[in-house]
């Protein structure tokens, strides 16, 4: 009787651990996600993958080039669902075949684990893991559109090629997020618009007037350089944005600014000059 109870308790604990492992490996939430220029993602009609770097542990059945090609193909299939074409994986491109978006990245971890440990030991031993980071660059402006990082881990059976299994899951989760954030194209406020067109644009978004006590200061919004002060009627999505002014010889100025739809917000950055550090002087003792 005691032996049966002990065995049942062990089975319940084992089942709970399996459930936790499976939950970890099937979560669809991305591990890291930054969208400094989400508005530019909606302008993308074509993407090109630049070969990813491999920066961490590598333990797999196939070559790095094989997995790079497979992952790019998996993400391309997801993008095709929203009409974005893929130009494949290339190290360079010419102006006649310029993509809208360049996707670079790195494989942080590629580890197929140990099939024997997963089968014989269990409890998380021999788990396979893939960890991938992607960065998308808008080719026309050089602005960063997004930076995504996602990892998958399998503690149990994952087929003949665990790395391929993990990459499929990562591409599926990333593809879902890319589809969700693919919205209307917005490249900012063109300078040649008429006053009526500019006003209509303001009503759909908000605008910022960016000034500083020092002329020609570098202006950044959410980490991206947008120009030099003063700037007038810069169109931007409503919400909170980090505005920063920088100039050599001055202390940077940054604030979190709330932008509301249809309104213009004036931001004035006050940069303080950095005082030069006094130089130390040494007095030499006269020679005896």
- What is the 3 state secondary structure string of the chain? CHHHHHHHHHHHHHHHHHHHHHHHHHCCCCCEEECCCHHHHCCCCEEEECCCEECCCEECCCCHHHHHHHHHHHHHHHHHCCCCEEEEECCCCCHHHCCCEEEEEEEEEEECCCHHHHHHCCCCCCCEEEEEEEEEEECCCCCEEEEEEEEEEECCCCCCCHHHHHHHHHHHHHHHHHHHCCCCCCCCCCCCCCHHHHHHHHHHCEEEEEEECCCCCEEEECCEEEEECCEEEEEECCEEEEEEEECCCEECEEEEEEECCCCEEEEEECCEECCCCCCCCCCCCCCC
> 222 — phi, psi (to 5°)?
55, 35
Model pLDDT for residues 52-77, shown as the tens digit of each residue: 999 888 998 899 999 999 999 999 99
Contact 155, 149 (CB under 8 A): no
Q: What pTM, to 2 d.p., does this model score? A: 0.57
Model pLDDT for residues 160-180, shown as the tens digit of each residue: 788 898 999 999 999 999 999
Tokens found for residue 232: 């007038």
Model pLDDT for residues 92-127, shown as the tens digit of each residue: 888 788 999 999 999 999 998 876 665 555 555 668
Contact 170, 133 (CB under 8 A): no
pLDDT at 279: 58
Four-residue CA torsion sign, 234, 237, 239, 244: negative
Sequence-ordered list of residues with C-beta below 8 angstroms from that of 210, at least 6 positions apart, any chain: 219, 229, 230, 231, 232, 234, 243, 245, 267, 269
Highest mean pLDDT among 13-17, 213-217, 276-280: 213-217
Tokens found for residue 263: 């309104």
Q: Is the peptide bond before 230 cis (omega within 30 degrees of 0)?
A: yes
Give the chain's domains with CATH numbers. Answer: 27-180 (3.40.50), 195-273 (2.60.40.1120)
> What is the percent of the chain where pLDDT is above 70?
73
Question: Using 50, 70 and 90 to split pLDDT, how confident is the model at 197?
Answer: low
Contact 76, 44 (CB under 8 A): no
């Amino acid at each position: 009787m005691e032996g049966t109870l002990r065995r049942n308790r062990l089975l319940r604990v084992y089942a709970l651990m399996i459930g936790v492992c499976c939950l970890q490996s099937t979560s669809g939430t991305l591990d890291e996600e930054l969208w400094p220029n989400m508005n530019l993602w909606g302008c993308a009609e074509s993407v090109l993958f630049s070969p990813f770097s491999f920066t961490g542990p590598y333990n797999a059945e196939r070559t790095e080039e094989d997995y790079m090609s497979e992952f790019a193909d998996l993400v391309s299939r997801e993008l095709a669902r929203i009409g974005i074409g893929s130009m494949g994986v290339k190290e360079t491109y010419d102006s006649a075949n310029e993509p809208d978006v360049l996707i670079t990245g790195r494989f942080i971890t590629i580890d197929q684990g140990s099939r024997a440990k997963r089968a014989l030991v269990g409890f998380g031993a021999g788990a396979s893991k893939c960890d991938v980071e992607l960065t998308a660059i808008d080719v026309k402006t050089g602005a960063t559109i997004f930076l995504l990082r996602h990892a998958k881990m399998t503690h149990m059976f994952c087929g003949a090629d665990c790395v391929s299994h993990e990459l499929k899951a990562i591409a599926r989760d990333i593809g879902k997020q890319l589809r969700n954030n693919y919205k209307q194209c917005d490249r900012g406020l063109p300078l040649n618009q008429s006053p009526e067109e500019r006003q209509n644009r303001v009503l759909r978004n908000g605008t910022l007037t960016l000034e500083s006590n020092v002329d020609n200061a570098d202006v950044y919004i959410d980490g991206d350089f947008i120009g030099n002060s003063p700037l007038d009627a810069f169109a931007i999505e409503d919400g909170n944005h980090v505005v920063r002014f920088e100039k050599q010889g001055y202390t940077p100025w940054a604030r979190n600014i709330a932008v509301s739809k249809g309104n213009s917000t004036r931001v004035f950055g006050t940069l303080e000059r950095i005082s030069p550090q006094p130089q130390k002087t040494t007095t030499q003792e006269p020679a005896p």
